[in-house]
Amino acid sequence: MAIAGNMIIGQELVKGSKKAIYAVNPATGEHLQPAYLGGGAQEVDRACVLAEKAFDAYRETDLESRAKFLEQIAANLAANVAAIVERAGLESGLPKARLESELGRTINQLKLFAEEVKAGRWIGVRVDTAMPERTPLPRADLRLRHIPLGPVVVFGASNFPLAFSVAGGDTASAFAAGCPVIVKGHSAHPGTSELVGLAIQAAVKSCDMPEGTFSLLFGSGADIGTALVSDRRVKAVGFTGSRSGGTALMKIAAARPEPIPVYAEMSSINPVYLMPEALMNRADSVATGFVNSLLMGSGQFCTNPGLMIVKEAPGLDAFLSKVAGLVSVAKPSTMLTPGIHEAYELGVAKLKSNNHVQLLAQAQEASGPNQCCACLFATTAEAFLGDPKLRDEVFGSSSLIIRCKTDEEILELTNGLEGQLTATVLMNPTDNKRFTKSLVSILERKVGRILFNGYPTGVEVCPAMVHGGPFPATSDSRTTSVGTEAIWRFLRPVCYQDFPSDLLPEALKDGNSWNVPKLVNGR
């Protein structure tokens, strides 16, 4: 498998005709070959025609065949680890070990969805048998199953070139649900995208799936991204990126003659609450754990702790000195793209120029391009409550400490927060549980995952995970983009009333061969 600057449309390899996109090595600033010519209306149309054509055959694949397809993609990726990791390293500046583990996660995610497909819970079969003798009205025979929505457009994320990109969580869950996928590759890592796309294309062929099950297009978001989301044949969108990008796609999708769901994961500042007894008893370990989480991956994680909320207490200044000390000696690290670096610098500059914000520490300056120098800021609850701009995400290793005078101030501030992916409570058994219960009751309405005595970075891929939350963390708080629950984003229920047995879908037949879990007459 080698890259050649191609888009993938079904089984074809296609060169675009629009402006060339070059990946940039963020560590050196150099352009990487080959050029990726963006696609246009013709390529969008071809990918959508094929995806629509593939839909009916792909959605009715039996559970074993669909699971095998997901496993084959995983196997094809596993056979190309060295090439994928090497190219992803050049395009993202991320270290080899991180990329190897991200690719491992991507492979395991595909296998997990293969298991989910086989288990058949996602079909959600319910059968309410006919009651012809019921009075005053008889009941019809009613059978429900979930079917996939249709072709899905996935936008690859910049910060996870593997686990949230071409074969990442959105693609795996859409494939598992039975949806063909068209990926709009992220312009920061086209070579990585092409390599991964070739692995999927090969699996489509060897597993005898319909040709249009998968396509990968390149081009600018405003151009090809808009065209894809506007296309009538596309029925849902998965996205991870900026708040402005996600909300733009939500507007396009809502303005279509047939609006469609957009599952966008956007912006989150992930508050961490440090309780007084935890501050008093384990200030050193909290300082280390918090700073490690803040610095991980140059802070380019959606769960990066951008906010710490703490009550005034005797040990607070010593704790903040400790945190500031750790931040000030942090090594600079390469950020993913020049654009992300620029946005980080801008966010940090805004905080520095805010009269109500104090710079507690800044890591050493770096000489190379696109370096993240970690920053730690502090402000008061009063200032935070009075300035909505302080709630903006600064994507990178920057965090704002909010010093609160009272518990009431903490609750008021929490009430004013926007939706978040996570919130973390660091507490000791002797901390005030009544207050914590009040806090958790507010947090449940604000976030997708509440952690006790941990740190928000690091998202397990498993059935119980929720990587979601109210806007702007995501565009739809009822879902998750990580874990097997993500499959439900791409399914909808259909009820079959009084169907002749031979016309029923296999999973709904009495004594069916699929043997999937069922709720029969409420049991």
How big is the site for ligand NAP, counted in residues (CB under 6 A)? 28
| Least distance CB 385 / ligand NAP (angstroms) | 23
Q: Is 225 in the site for ligand NAP (CB under 6 A)?
A: yes
**426 has which bridge partners?**
274
Torsion sign (Cα): 482, 483, 487, 493: negative
| Least distance CB 118 / ligand NAP (angstroms) | 31
* One residue of 5, 89, 221, 483 binding ligand NAP per CB under 6 A: 221
Q: Is 241 in the site for ligand NAP (CB under 6 A)?
A: yes
The answer to whether residue 312 is catalytic is: no
Residues 6+ apart with CB under 8 A from 437: none
Q: Is 105 in the site for ligand NAP (CB under 6 A)?
A: no
Q: Is 343 in the site for ligand NAP (CB under 6 A)?
A: yes
Residue 219 backbone phi and psi in degrees, to 5: 145, 175
The answer to whether residue 506 is catalytic is: no
Count the residues in the chain.
523
Which residue stretch of 27-35, 137-145, 174-182, 263-271 sits at the interface with ligand NAP (rule: CB under 6 A)? 263-271
Chain centroid, CA 114 distance in Å: 19
* Count of beta carbons in the 10 Å neighbourhood of residue 445: 12
Residues 6+ apart with CB under 8 A from 279: 286, 310, 313, 315, 316, 319
Q: Is 171 in the site for ligand NAP (CB under 6 A)?
A: no
* One residue of 245, 289, 338, 369 binding ligand NAP per CB under 6 A: 245
* One residue of 240, 371, 420, 474 binding ligand NAP per CB under 6 A: 240
Q: Is 333 in the site for ligand NAP (CB under 6 A)?
A: no
Cα–Cα nearest to 429, from 279, 277, 273: 277
Q: Which is nearer to ligand NAP, 184 or 449 (CB)?
A: 184
Chain centroid, CA 49 distance in Å: 27
Q: Is 426 in the site for ligand NAP (CB under 6 A)?
A: no
- Residue of 43, 91, 265, 418 marked catalytic: 265
Which residue stretch of 22-30, 153-161, 351-359, 424-432 sits at the interface with ligand NAP (rule: CB under 6 A)? 153-161
Q: Is 422 in the site for ligand NAP (CB under 6 A)?
A: no
Which residue stretch of 92-100, 244-252, 355-363, 475-483 sits at the interface with ligand NAP (rule: CB under 6 A)? 244-252
Cα–Cα nearest to 269, from 414, 478, 483, 477: 414
Q: Which is nearer to ligand NAP, 69 or 160 (CB)?
A: 160
Question: Identity (one letter) of the amino acid at 226?
Answer: T
Q: Is 474 in the site for ligand NAP (CB under 6 A)?
A: no
Q: Is 40 in the site for ligand NAP (CB under 6 A)?
A: no
Using Cβ positions, the residue closest to ligand NAP within the complex turns out to be: 221
Q: Is 255 in the site for ligand NAP (CB under 6 A)?
A: no
* One residue of 242, 399, 420, 484 binding ligand NAP per CB under 6 A: 242
* One residue of 158, 333, 422, 479 binding ligand NAP per CB under 6 A: 158
- Residue of 91, 179, 194, 302 marked catalytic: 302
Do 163 and 102 meet the contact criterion of CB atoms below 8 Å apart? yes
Cα(427)–Cα(425) distance, rounded to whole angstroms?
Answer: 6
* Structure tokens given for 435: 């207050």
Q: Is 264 in the site for ligand NAP (CB under 6 A)?
A: no
Which parts of 381-517 are beta strand (E)?
398-404, 420-426, 447-452, 491-497
Characterize 302-311 residue by residue with b for buried, 16 or more Cβ atoms within 10 angstroms of its Cβ, and e for exposed. Answer: bbbbbbbbbb
3-state secondary structure of 463: coil
* Structure tokens given for 203: 């699996």
Residue 30 backbone phi and psi in degrees, to 5: -80, 150
| Least distance CB 243 / ligand NAP (angstroms) | 7
Chain positions 358 to 417 lying near ligand NAP, rule: CB under 6 A, are 393, 395
* One residue of 87, 105, 146, 184 binding ligand NAP per CB under 6 A: 184
Cα(343)–Cα(219) distance, rounded to whole angstroms?
Answer: 21
Q: Which is nearer to ligand NAP, 268 or 398 (CB)?
A: 268
Chain centroid, CA 42 distance in Å: 29
Which residue stretch of 59-67, 241-249, 397-405, 515-523 sits at the interface with ligand NAP (rule: CB under 6 A)? 241-249
3-state secondary structure of 137: coil
What is the end-to-end Cα distance of the chain in Å, rounded?
A: 51
Residues 6+ apart with CB under 8 A from 141: 128, 129, 130, 497, 498, 499
Q: Is 298 in the site for ligand NAP (CB under 6 A)?
A: no
Which residue stretch of 54-62, 262-270, 316-324, 442-450 sits at the interface with ligand NAP (rule: CB under 6 A)? 262-270
Task: Classify residue 439 by burial, with Cβ atoms within 10 Å: 0-12, 13-18, 19+.
Answer: buried
Cis-peptide into 472, omega within 30 deg: yes
**494 has which bridge partners?**
145
Which residue stretch of 70-78, 150-158, 355-363, 444-452 sits at the interface with ligand NAP (rule: CB under 6 A)? 150-158
| Least distance CB 523 / ligand NAP (angstroms) | 42
| Least distance CB 259 / ligand NAP (angstroms) | 16
| Least distance CB 267 / ligand NAP (angstroms) | 5
Residues serving a catalytic function are 265, 302
Contact positions vs ligand NAP (CB under 6 A): 155, 157-159, 184, 186-187, 220-222, 225-226, 240-242, 245, 248-249, 265-268, 302, 339-340, 343, 393, 395
